[in-house]
Structure 1
């Protein structure tokens, strides 16, 4: 009997960036079996050996080689062709941070292929259709078994949907078939959603988290810039203190017997007299050589601690200082996540110049960033006025920290100092990464075990939920998160009944305060024509001419006026407001309907404009105060203008729900 020995060997790989797949012209010549694509994860480069997926036998990725060893004899050329089609079709639409996720999808499909599909003649479309139907039935059965199991593993559900989806995509690409039509031949596996028990933090938790990190940043900044004596001690509303010693002291505390005798409860080293008294009390039961030896050990330990603390205080480029700088930068980054709702990769790539656009209309900074997963389009994020001083202080601290490095003029807003080599003449600067976030979390929890740590992804979901609950608008929420409304609805909104009624803190208020003014180019009152006689009558007042033109004070994002939509007349250059009681009732009746509709984005914008027009009328005719009051009271009691009452009745007949 012949035994086949598998020899794992390296192969000549082609390494390329994911962005090269956007345009086939930029792609290098390659065989798929040798393709390695560079993505990103946590701010660091990540190598995905796509070519290895078409080999049955392969090793794990060799970090130094950026590729896997494979058994050449186990190459499947049919799978290679399918994977090549899939990658060329999809990779150009993904960001560098999504490359790994897609690689994992293809890895799941590759494993399933070798187990179940390697016999299939993919060139035979009829055979593919039948196999797809059979595979779907098998996957549905597996899903049913998983649902019936007491120990559900949600990753297993995910794998089933990936197998079906990638199978369908590969067949359609190979035979040039419309994917949506192809999926109709069999039932689609629906995703099983993960439980959302911890899908968002509470508003109070997020505000407390922000405040804690802000105080921590300022405490470290003050300690370092003013060159204070170690240890660094940080007190917060938690009962425990954070006490940071230089590395030499930390190491000694872990290995020596007496540190608790030498340090006070506040973390500082005792003075010489206190130490001598403690030593005498500690060794009073000893005698002879043991007494002498113990005294010498304690005093020697004390002297070493004192020298270490002094040395780290004097050394401007100690490892301990670099570590605290990293903690301060990370603490600020957590506040920046809370304020801007930026995603992690955008924060890693953020440049100092990106924060130079002060916008007086929002009294803050409008940050423009490139969003790779949205086809590299530019998206806007907002930094509110209350954080501008905080941002200025961080920039000053950043410049101070970079002065200890060999690259003081880097572009990135966030960075980290390499502390792996201890004290050096100049710190080495590296890219900010998710590792720093994890280290800050571990450091804080070492002292405060019950500290509520909120990860960046959870911050983003929480802010999205709070904004949506307050505005009832995925459009407004998408502006805050830099996403499309559909993406916000799927991933960043988790509304609860209680949250709908909560008031918004100033912490999140910047955008919400301007919802009713969001389509305006100015914060000033937009003027309105009043009581012009040469006009036709409308359900909201009068009209100069039926030639709708948007008022110049409103942006092009706002829907243009339309003569068939009388509410939009309020934003038209030809609209005229009348001051008679009947006309006041028209405006107040329309306002009443929008109030009944709830605090949607459209309602807030319309109500604000109606209030503005009513104020203009009242300012011009203050003698009509009684008319305004009487009309308002009667409308509140349900006596609406006839046209708008009919309009309301029609909405009710159509089963439109008010006051949900």
Structure 2
């Protein structure tokens, strides 16, 4: 018999609410291209449920079919996603997770996620199931084979949380399904790379100047970037008349918007010299920067690399970048001193929430794919003549530059935090 639940509608930005809510009753509310999309966790956690109602955006469920062992690991896994993924990515992974669990429901009557041997056997058997299905689809020339790799990875993420173990232990227990169409990111032409860096550097320095010298009330402001021969206008993001509110609140919201843009601009600069992965950017702390006080050595960055078995690796930043880095650290301190933070003040990169409700305090939020994508859209409107470069392509371009200058895979490997073997396979296109 199907029954209703006490549904709680939560948006990805409401991290605190999600962390304490009962996930079988959660409906995630996403904003995609101006439309609101609803995702009901009940359609994952209950084996038996009705179709989702258009009115309530939720399904009726058979309470006896609740997958109890999945609640905690799925809650933890999705909480991590909310902190770093855009709304579109959250929707994608929700569907992948739902399909994985549907597969498990179709294969097994009883599913054990907590006993290690049974869980590892489940991972092996599900991998075999995917490989058989994949081989069938290959004969029919289905294009996107990467979904099988993603489904295998999703189960590994869930099992690692259920067993409280390193995900690499799960993945190392059996073969990994590779994506048929997996290709490595191509390097960018060096002139485009330099223009992209200079544009982001200029944006950061200009926004830093406007914010720290209290010029926000004088928007719009025009700047001419001589080295790019481009005029940059920093406009009033939240017009007073449109918002129908007072000037002080509007200025504050403009500041928040510019702070988020400034952080994103510097993130691109940082990635351009460090060759860091985007996932590593999200978790860097201020303590991960070494040699900050040295006047003769470049900065060292220590970080965890998931695809290297979650080992701690070290990346290098050239000495000539230290001046801009120090500018950023001063700006970061200015932000900290002007806003009250309740969590994760040690994060190197972060953002501030910019709520429409004027009675809500702006909160520190982890830097995320969503913040980066919002900056990308703004950047493209300001610099249509400059190619946007994703962080992954910045990394491959740096590999290309170092390879061309040194002709030595050891040098490239050290810069990227890889092994020479990885360089030979992943960055074999890095030739002059």
Q: TM-score, normalised by structure 1?
A: 0.44
Contact 1:52 1:70 in 2 (8 A): no
Alignment of 1:54-133 (within 5 A): 55=47, 57=49, 70-72=61-63, 74=65, 107-114=98-105, 117=107
Contact 2:40 2:59 in 1 (8 A): no
- Equivalent residues, number: 357
Give how far 1:389 is off. 0.8
Higher-Rg structure is 1
Residues 1:215 and 1:165: Cα distance change in structure 2 (over 3 Å) = closer
Decide which of 218, 239, 247 is 1:248's aligned counterpart. 239
Residues 1:69 and 1:405: Cα distance change in structure 2 (over 3 Å) = farther
Contact 2:48 2:65 in 1 (8 A): yes
Give how far 1:340 is off. 1.3
Give how far 1:336 is off. 0.8
CA deviation string 1:104-161 (max 9, x = no partner): 776544434555x4599xx9xxxxx9999998666423212125xxxx3x1xx23456
Decide which of 141, 144, 147 is 2:139's aligned counterpart. 144
Q: Which moved more, 1:417-426 or 1:437-446?
A: 417-426
Residues 1:7 and 1:424: Cα distance change in structure 2 (over 3 Å) = closer
Give how far 1:342 is off. 2.0
d(CA) in 1 for partners of 2:172, 2:132: 19
- SS at structure 1 position matched to 2:338: coil
d(CA) in 1 for partners of 2:306, 2:266: 24
Residues 1:109 and 1:370: Cα distance change in structure 2 (over 3 Å) = closer
Contact 1:330 1:436 in 2 (8 A): yes
d(CA) in 1 for partners of 2:174, 2:363: 54
Decide which of 382, 397, 402 is 2:336's aligned counterpart. 402
Alignment of 1:588-603 (within 5 A): none
Give how far 1:6 is off. 3.8
1:218 aligns with: 205
Residues 1:399 and 1:58: Cα distance change in structure 2 (over 3 Å) = farther
Asked if 1:235 is matched to 2:235, the reply is no
1:430 aligns with: 365
d(CA) in 1 for partners of 2:335, 2:125: 64
Alignment of 1:12-411 (within 5 A): 52=44, 55=47, 57=49, 70-72=61-63, 74=65, 107-114=98-105, 117=107, 139-146=134-141, 152=143, 154=144, 157-160=145-148, 191-194=179-182, 199-228=186-215, 229-236=218-225, 237=228, 239=230, 241-245=232-236, 247-249=238-240, 251=242, 311=247, 318-358=252-292, 363-407=297-341, 410-411=345-346
1:463 aligns with: 398
Give how far 1:417 is off. 2.5
Asked if 1:449 is matched to 2:419, the reply is no
Residues 1:244 and 1:376: Cα distance change in structure 2 (over 3 Å) = same
Give how far 1:70 is off. 4.5
Residues 1:182 and 1:200: Cα distance change in structure 2 (over 3 Å) = closer
Residues 1:205 and 1:181: Cα distance change in structure 2 (over 3 Å) = closer
Give how far 1:192 is off. 1.4
Residues 1:377 and 1:249: Cα distance change in structure 2 (over 3 Å) = same
d(CA) in 2 for partners of 1:135, 1:430: 37
Unpaired runs of 5+ residues, structure 2, are 8-22, 27-38, 53-57, 111-117, 119-123, 156-170
Contact 1:9 1:72 in 2 (8 A): no
Give how far 1:385 is off. 0.7
Residues 1:350 and 1:226: Cα distance change in structure 2 (over 3 Å) = same
2:20 aligns with: none
CA deviation string 1:224-258 (max 9, x = no partner): 33333321223343656434125125838xxxxxx
CA deviation string 1:407-440 (max 9, x = no partner): 4993222222332257789753333222221222
d(CA) in 1 for partners of 2:360, 2:132: 66
Give how far 1:391 is off. 1.1
d(CA) in 1 for partners of 2:336, 2:362: 9
Q: TM-score, normalised by structure 2?
A: 0.63
Give how far 1:381 is off. 1.5
Residues 1:345 and 1:55: Cα distance change in structure 2 (over 3 Å) = same
d(CA) in 2 for partners of 1:351, 1:132: 36
CA deviation string 1:236-287 (max 9, x = no partner): 43656434125125838xxxxxxxxxxxxxxxxxxxxxxxxxxxxxxxxxxx
RMSD, aligned CA: 5.2
